[in-house]
């Protein structure tokens, strides 16, 4: 398995013609939908999402696609403008993600407070964080600002902010020194569990996602876009063996999950991205890449355009999805006393999916208006 060295003009020429990939938008939207229903305890749809038959879940897909999309956006912006503009854009992106984290954290506390005020009691309410905030608001606010405290469902965003900060270093290495980047990423992933204690956190709390471990999937997503690894392997005369191996891994993981140990793996496996989770995801990703090569990705994107619309509004829909999940999960838990209720579970799924779609749909006209105003202003000023 080898990486082909590509100079930046070749890469940028490739990216310029495909800055918006319908398959990428579709799968990002699908993953956001999975994340929403997976955090609703009584959801019926969550019984058939990725985590139900694999050792990994939507989080791995989300991070990998984030790396892939980042490489696409960086190369497109650098081709249209300059490398410096691309670097500055992702520095600003890091701040945008940090701001989204603060908004999500605040919404988690606010929604929890409102639900508790209406006597809604559910296991995922941020009661501990809310109590600490009420007892010492300045201290709790400081902890949130410094990532020391990450309220429920906001915890994926801090590592994304770090990933955005790393882009000016990661992208040039991915193009010119891919083996160095991969070796460094693997070394950091191997050391991540022992370094976890150095991450900022309040007493008795830890990061749900260790960014030092999860950066591996982000880097792999970047490399998958910058280097023709899949194309070379799949085109090799022995490429079918990789597909057979990937299929075997997926089947073995599904058998283990469905028959041997249906209970979730230890939380540390996800926190530090265990090799079991990463390996299972990569096997699934290889098989999905085969389907995309056969044209199924574009067909699904055409058949379900509303899913792609959600994917195009990734950060907004993630924040909105966090609120939707917490509200729907809490109300469903209260209505069913925590027991599985198929009719109410399906209603909850429909409400959650419909609400996320409405958020994405409502944001489209606003985004077009802002883009038009920015272009108009730019044209006048130039």
Write out the chain's pLDDT in tens, 382 residues: 443 434 444 443 334 444 568 999 999 999 999 999 999 999 999 999 999 999 999 999 999 999 999 999 999 999 999 999 999 999 999 999 999 999 999 999 999 999 999 999 899 999 889 999 999 999 999 999 999 999 999 999 999 999 999 999 999 999 999 999 999 999 999 999 999 999 999 988 899 999 999 999 999 999 999 999 999 999 989 889 999 999 999 999 999 999 998 888 889 999 999 999 999 999 999 999 999 999 999 999 999 999 999 999 999 999 999 999 999 999 999 999 999 999 999 999 999 999 999 999 998 776 666 555 556 654 433 3
pTM beyond cutoff 0.85: yes
370 CB burial (10 A radius; 0-12, 13-18, 19+): exposed
Reading the block at residue 201, the tokens are: 């956190």
Alpha-carbon gap, residue 214 to 218, rounded angstroms: 7
Nearest to 98 by CA among 157, 37, 29, 27: 157
Main-chain dihedrals φ then ψ at residue 99, nearest 5 degrees: -65, -40
Domain positions in the chain: 8-374
């Amino acid at each position: 398995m080898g990486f082909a060295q590509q100079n930046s003009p070749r890469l940028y020429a490739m990216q310029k013609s495909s800055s918006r990939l319908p398959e990428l938008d579709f799968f990002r939207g699908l993953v956001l939908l999975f994340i929403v229903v997976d955090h609703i305890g009584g959801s019926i749809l969550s019984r058939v999402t990725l985590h139900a038959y694999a050792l990994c879940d939507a989080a791995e897909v989300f991070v990998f696609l984030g790396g892939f999309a980042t490489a696409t956006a960086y190369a497109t912006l650098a081709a249209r403008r300059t490398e410096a503009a691309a670097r500055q854009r992702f520095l600003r992106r890091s701040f945008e993600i940090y701001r989204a984290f603060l908004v999500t954290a605040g919404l988690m506390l606010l929604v929890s407070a409102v639900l508790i005020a209406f006597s809604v009691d559910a296991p995922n309410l941020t009661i501990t964080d809310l109590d600490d905030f009420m007892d010492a608001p300045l201290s709790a606010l400081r902890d949130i600002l410094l990532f020391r405290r990450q309220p429920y469902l906001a915890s994926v965003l801090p590592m994304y902010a770090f990933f955005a900060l790393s882009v000016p270093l990661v992208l040039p290495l991915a193009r010119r020194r891919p083996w160095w980047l991969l070796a460094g990423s693997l070394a950091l992933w191997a050391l991540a569990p022992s370094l976890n204690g150095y991450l900022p956190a309040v007493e008795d709390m830890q990061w749900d996602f260790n960014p030092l471990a999860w950066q591996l999937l982000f880097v792999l997503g970047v490399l998958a876009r910058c280097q023709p690894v899949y194309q070379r392997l799949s085109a090799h005369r022995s490429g079918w063996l990789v597909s057979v191996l990937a299929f075997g891994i997926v089947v073995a993981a599904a058998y283990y999950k469905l028959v041997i140990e249906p209970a979730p793996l230890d939380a540390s496996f996800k926190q530090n991205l265990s090799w079991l989770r990463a390996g299972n995801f990569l096997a699934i990703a290889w098989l999905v890449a085969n389907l995309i090569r056969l044209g199924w990705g574009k067909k699904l994107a055409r058949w379900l355009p509303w899913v792609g619309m959600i994917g195009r509004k990734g950060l907004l829909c993630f924040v909105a999805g966090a609120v939707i999940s917490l509200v729907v999960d809490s109300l469903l838990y209260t209505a069913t006393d925590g027991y599985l209720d198929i009719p109410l579970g399906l209603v909850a799924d429909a409400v959650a999916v419909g609400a996320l779609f409405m958020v994405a749909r409502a944001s489209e006209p606003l985004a077009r208006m802002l883009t038009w105003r920015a272009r108009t202003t730019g044209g006048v000023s130039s």
